[in-house]
Structures are given as C-alpha cells and as structure tokens.
Amino acid sequence: MGMGGCSAFDVVQILQKSRQAVSDCEVLLEAERAESDPKVFTRIHVQFVVTGRGLSEKHVARAVELSAEKYCSAAIMLGKTAAITHDFEIREPD
C-alpha cells in the first residue's frame, strides 16, 4: 500500500508540473507473494485511474513511467524482488 501512495503522489505531482488538469488519482494494486518465508512480493501490478479534464494520454504514460523508474523509492526497492507492471485509465470528471 505504501508503494501505491508513493506512486500516486509522484504521478499527480508530475502531471501538475506538466500543467495537466488532474483532479484525482486512484491506485489499484494486485500482488503475489512467495510461498515460503520471508514471503517477499514476487509480482505486483499497479493500475492508475487518473481523473481530469482533457488529460493527455502521453503525459499520463510518462508520469507513470517516471514514477516507476525514477522517483518512487518504494517501487524501486520492491522491484528488486518483484516483477512490477503498470497500466492506467484516464477518466473525465462528471
């Protein structure tokens, strides 16, 4: 859960710096752990649901990539033992 919060913060901050009108970012996580102790995470899938007016798919994809590869220390640390995948969905606000 810590990785989800860290990543969401990064994505929102990067989008705001890119002048994207982001109003919400939700992170959904699915994970698998090893069967034997210390039961480290072996697979994590992160799905971002980003809401905002007229968001650029290119900007959202880049924000997710930067968070995963450069800024989110939790993701980078967990990536040492787990295969981490990402995807995203863009929603317009009601």
Contacts with 5 (C-beta within 8 Å, 6 or more apart), sequence order: 27
Question: pLDDT by residue for the chain (94 residues), tens digit each?
Answer: 899 999 999 999 999 999 999 999 999 999 999 999 999 999 999 999 999 999 999 999 999 999 999 999 999 999 999 999 999 999 999 8
Q: How far apart are CA 23 and CA 67, in angstroms?
A: 18
Structural domain including 64 reads: 2-91
pLDDT at 1: 84
pLDDT at 94: 86
Cis peptide before 93 (omega within 30 of 0): no
User: Which CATH number belongs to the domain containing residue 51 in this structure?
Assistant: 3.30.300.20
pTM, to two decimals: 0.92
Total number of domains in the chain:
1
